[in-house]
Structure 1
Amino acid sequence: MLARMLLAKSAACLALVVALALAPGRAVATEGFDGPNPPAPADAPRWRWPTSPPGPVVQPFEAPPGPYAAGHRGIDLAASPGEPVLAPADATIHFAGVVVDRPVVTLAVGDSVLVSFEPVATAASTGSELHAGEAFGTVAHGGHCDDRCIHVGVRVDGEYVSPLLFYAGIPPAVLLPLD
């Protein structure tokens, strides 16, 4: 009986979340430190994938419960050292250098969005302008993927959000029955 009641409450909560997310004119919220963060504007052009063809997502975004808590603040895409890394949109190189023990490149897309890639080696310098699809570096060695992926992180107004909100060609989520 208790299991049936919990299942019913869970289903009702899920239905409410889906209804709110799909309501016309309403932005879909994402997880963040201080509550929901807005996704990319509905009229914003979708980004190109940083590798071609895009590798599968080997680790998804996992928002931490607080700004200093553990989490996975981006996605990991399958990639191998030496593969070219492409600008997802028209952007400017905001940072290119080593962070801790890995090469990182951060691009500014517009005024409030930063997208970081690691490990990525580049000869480009800070301030360089890039066009969508333009190669700006190569997948390097290092990072937490042990030479099998590239990490992509996105910050909107300083808050981490799932990069999948910006990329084109994301398959729709499918809800499956519990039984």
Structure 2
Amino acid sequence: MRVPVRRLAAAAAAAALWAWPIASPHPIARAYLAPATPYAAGHRGVDIRAAEGEVVRAPADGVVHYVGVVVDRPVLSIDHGGGVLSSYEPVVTALHAGDVVHRGQLIGTLQAGHCAGGACLHFGVRIDGAYVSPLLFLGGQPRAVLLPP
């Protein structure tokens, strides 16, 4: 399922207030890769390198949508309203579905198990059920600047 461009632009513009869920620096271990179809291979989020046990914070206000284990990893998702959901794994939390969270609030701690060679947070965002790049909600990536030799 593709998100209409107008809907994506509106959601991304509203998300300009989102903060990174992990403290700086935010090295991306694996980038978002949109699948060709809803059921095709892809990487439906970004993996952010961080230390095991690092604090994970809510990037924006919302309501906890889901807390549980998916396959073998603890997952937390937040409903930010307007059809926008964010998800975090592997994250252990004391929160429960229905809890209200605010931007910057501690939502859990990062566990090992997602990235080989060290811990990382898998951070995903969906709009109306379709995955989009979380970087749209974090201000994207800085523009590349070519410097003279």
TM-score clears 0.5: yes
The aligned counterpart of 1:90 is 61
Secondary structure in 2 matching 1:137? strand
Please show how residues 21-170 of structure 1 align to structure 2 within 5 Å: 33-34=1-2, 37=5, 38-39=8-9, 40-145=11-116, 147-168=118-139, 170=141
Contact 1:94-1:126 within 8 A present in 2 as well: yes
Retained in 1: the 8 A contact 2:113–2:119?
Answer: no
1:94 is aligned with what amino acid? H
RMSD: 2.1
Instruction: Verify the 8 A CA contact 1:87 1:134 in the aligned structure 2.
Output: yes
Instruction: Note the residue ranges of structure 1 that are not aligned, 5 or more in a row.
Output: 1-32
- Range with bigger deviation, 114-123 or 141-150: 141-150
Letter in 2 for 1:159: A
Percentage of matched positions with identical amino acids: 50
- Greater relative contact order (Cα < 8 A, sep 6+): 2
Q: Which runs of 5+ in 2 are unaligned?
A: none
SS at match of 2:135: helix
- What TM-score do you get using the length of structure 2 for normalisation? 0.86
Counterpart CA distance in 2 for 1:175 and 1:42 is 27
TM-score by length of 1: 0.73
Question: How many residue pairs get matched?
Answer: 144
Structure of higher CA gyration radius = 1
Shift of the alpha carbon at 1:147? 3.8
Deviation at 1:91, TM superposition (A): 1.1
Which letter maps to 1:86? R
The structure richer in strand per residue is 2
1:43 and 1:98 map into 2 onto residues whose CA distance is: 30
In the TM superposition, residue 44 of structure 1 has moved relative to its aligned partner by: 4.2
3-state SS, counterpart of residue 26 of structure 2: coil
> Which amino acid letter does the alignment assign opposite residue 163 of structure 1?
P
What letter corresponds to residue 75 of structure 1 in structure 2?
V
Displacement of 1:35 after TM fit? 6.7
**Moved segments of 4+, more than 3 Å:** 33-37, 144-147, 173-176
Query: Partner amino acid for 2:112?
Result: H
SS at match of 1:45: helix
